[in-house]
Structure 1
Amino acid sequence: MPESSNKDAAERVQPAATDSPGDTYVVYDLFRKFWTRVVGLFFREIAERNAHLIPKTGPVMFVVAPHHNQFVDPVILLMHAMRRVYYLTAAASMRRRFIGFYSRCLRGIPVERQQDLAKAGTGRIYLEDRYGEPTVISGIDTRFSSEVEAGMKIALPKGGGQARVEEVISDTRLRINREMKELQAMELLTQRDGTTFKIIPHVNQDDMYSKVFQRLNAGECVGIFPEGGSHDRTEMLPLKAGMTIMALGATAANPDLGLKIVPTGLNYFHPSKFRSRAVIDFGQPIDIPPELVEKYRRGGTAAREACDALLATVLEGLKQVTLNTPDLETLRLIQAGRRLYQPTQHSLTMAQQVELTRRFIKGYTAYRDLPEVKELRERIADYNMQLQYYGIRDHQVETMQVSRAGAGALFIWRVIWLGLMGLVALPGTVLNLPVFVVTSIVSKRKARAALAASTVKVRARDVIATWKILIALVLVPLLYTAYSAMAVVFVRRAPEWALQTEVMVKLQQWSSVAVYVWAWALAAFMSYTALVFGEQAMDIVKSIRPLFLTLILGSEHTLLLARQREQLSADITELVNELGPQIYPEFTTTRISEQLGNGRTTHSNIINESADIFHRKMREGEQALRHRINETVSRATTATETEPHDTVSDCDNIPKDRARRRSKYTFNPPTPRTMETLNSISPMEFLSSVTGAVFGNNASVAATPELDSNDAVSLASADDNITTVKDDTSQDSHNT
Structure 2
Amino acid sequence: MHAMRRVYFLVAAASMRRRFIGFYGRCMRGIAVERQQDLAKAGTGRIRVDDRYGDPTLITGIGTRFTAEIKVGMKVALPKGVGEAKVTAVESDTQLRVAKEMKELAAIELLARAEGTSFKVVPHVDQDEMYHAVYQRLNNGECVGIFPEGGSHDRTEMLPLKAGATIMALGATAANPELGLKIVPTGLNYFHPSKFRSRAVIDFGQPIDVPPELVEKYRKGGEAKREACDELLRIVSEGLKQVTLNTPDYETLKMVQAGRRLYQPTQHSLTMAQQVELTRRFIKGYSVYRDLPEVKELRDRIEDYNLQLRYYGIRDHQVDTMRIGRAEAGMLFVWRLLWLLIMGLVALPGTVLNLPVFIVTGVVSKRKARAALAASTVKVRARDVVATWKILIALGLVPLLYTTYSVLAVLLVRRYQLADVAEWPSSRVYLWSWALAAFMSYTALVFGEQAVDIVKSVRPLFLTLILGEEHTELLARQREDLSDDITDLVNELGPKIYPEFAKTRVPADLLLGDGKKTHDNIINGSADAFHRKMREGEQALRQRIGGGSSSSSLQRVDSSEDSSEGLSTRQQQRSRRPSKYSFSPPTPRTMETLNSISPMEFLTSSSTSSTSAGRAEKTSSGGVPASVAARSSAAASSSNTDQQQFQGGTPATTGPSTPEPQNGMFDFS
For the criterion TM > 0.5, the same-fold answer is: yes
Q: In the alignment, which of 534, 540, 549 is matched to residue 618 of structure 1?
A: 534
Structure 2 distance, partners of 1:597, 1:282, is 20
The partner residue of 1:151 within 63, 73, 81 is 73
- TM-aligned CA distance change 1:550 to 1:661, over 3 Å: farther
State the number of aligned residues.
Answer: 565
Q: How does 1:546-585 map to 2 (within 5 A)?
A: 546-584=460-498
% identical aligned pairs: 76
Answering whether residue 373 of structure 2 is matched by residue 451 of structure 1, we say yes
* 1:602 Cα deviation after fit: 8.4
Query: TM-score, structure 2 length as denominator?
Result: 0.80
Q: What's 1:521 paired with?
A: 435
- 1:661 shift after superposition: 6.7
Aligned-partner residue type, residue 389 of structure 2: W
The higher relative CO (CA closer than 8 Å, separation ≥ 6) is in 2
Render the CA deviation track for 1:265-320: whole Å, top value 9, x for unaligned.
11111111122211111101111112222222222222211111111111111111
Q: Secondary structure at the match of 1:142?
A: coil
CA distance in 1, matches of 2:518, 2:334: 34
User: Is the alpha carbon distance of 1:601 and 1:581 closer, same or farther for their aligned partners in structure 2, counting shifts above 3 Å?
Assistant: farther
Distance in 2 separating the partners of 1:586 and 1:223: 37
1:204 matched to 2:130: no
| 1:280 correspondence with 2:217 | no
Question: In structure 2, what is the equivalent of residue 465 of structure 1?
Answer: 387
Check whether the contact 2:203–2:243 (CA below 8 A) recurs between aligned residues.
Answer: yes
Residue number in structure 2 paired with 1:309:
231
More displaced 10-residue stretch of structure 1: 332-341 or 251-260: 251-260
Q: Which amino acid aligns with 1:607?
A: I
Instruction: Provide, for residues 533-567 of structure 1, a one-character-per-residue CA deviation record: whole Å limited to 9, x for no partner.
Output: 11111111111111122222222222221111111
Whether the 8 Å contact between 1:570 and 1:662 is mirrored in structure 2 is: no
The RMSD of aligned alpha carbons is: 2.7
Aligned with residue 133 of structure 1, among 46, 49, 55: 55
* Conservation of the 8 A alpha-carbon contact between 2:48 and 2:116: yes
| Residue in 2 that maps onto 1:249 | 171
**Quick check: 1:111–1:205 contact (8 Å CA) kept in 2?**
yes
Q: Aligned residue for 2:256?
A: 334
The alpha carbon displacement at 1:619 in A equals 2.4
1:567 and 1:661 in contact (8 A); partners too: no
* Residue-by-residue CA offset, 1:93-122 (whole Å, 9 max, x unaligned): 111222222212211111111111111222
Within the candidate set 302, 318, 325, 1:380 is matched to 302
Q: How does 1:485-634 map to 2 (within 5 A)?
A: 485-494=407-416, 504-584=418-498, 586-592=500-506, 604-630=520-546
Amino acid at match of 1:579: L
Give the drift of 1:406.
2.3
Q: Deviations over 1:14-64 (max 9, x none)?
A: xxxxxxxxxxxxxxxxxxxxxxxxxxxxxxxxxxxxxxxxxxxxxxxxxxx
1:664 to partner: Cα distance: 5.5
Q: 1:261 is paired with a residue of what secondary structure?
A: strand
The letter of the residue matching 2:240 is L
- Distance in 2 (CA, whole Å) between partners of 1:224 and 1:156 is 27
AA of the residue aligned to 2:155: R
1:339 and 1:584 map into 2 onto residues whose CA distance is: 22
How far residue 634 of structure 1 moved from its aligned partner, in angstroms, is 9.9
- Larger CA deviation: 256-265 vs 508-517: 508-517
Q: Is the 8 A contact 1:571 1:663 kept in 2?
A: no
Which of 91, 99, 109 is matched with 1:169 structurally? 91
Aligned mates of 2:500, 2:67 — CA distance in 1: 64
1:446 to 1:660, Cα distance in 2 relative to 1, 3 A: farther
Give me the whole-angstrom Cα distance separating, in 2, the residues matched to 1:292 and 1:624.
69
**Superposed displacement of residue 228, structure 1:** 0.5
Q: Which amino acid aligns with 1:444?
A: K
CA contact (8 A) 1:570 1:661 kept: no
Offset of 1:631 from its aligned partner?
A: 6.8
Deviation, structure 1 residue 603: 6.2
Q: Distance in 1 between matches of 2:344 and 2:138?
A: 52
Runs of 5+ consecutive residues of structure 1 not aligned to the other structure: 1-78, 636-653, 666-718, 726-736
Q: Which residue identity does 2:96 align to in structure 1?
A: L
Partners of 1:326 and 1:360 in 2: CA distance: 14
Deviations 1:679-722 (A, max 9, x none): xxxxxxxxxxxxxxxxxxxxxxxxxxxxxxxxxxxxxxxx9998
For the Cα contact (< 8 Å) 2:219–2:225, is it kept in 1?
Answer: yes
- C-alpha distance 545-659 of structure 1, shift in aligned 2 (>3 A): farther
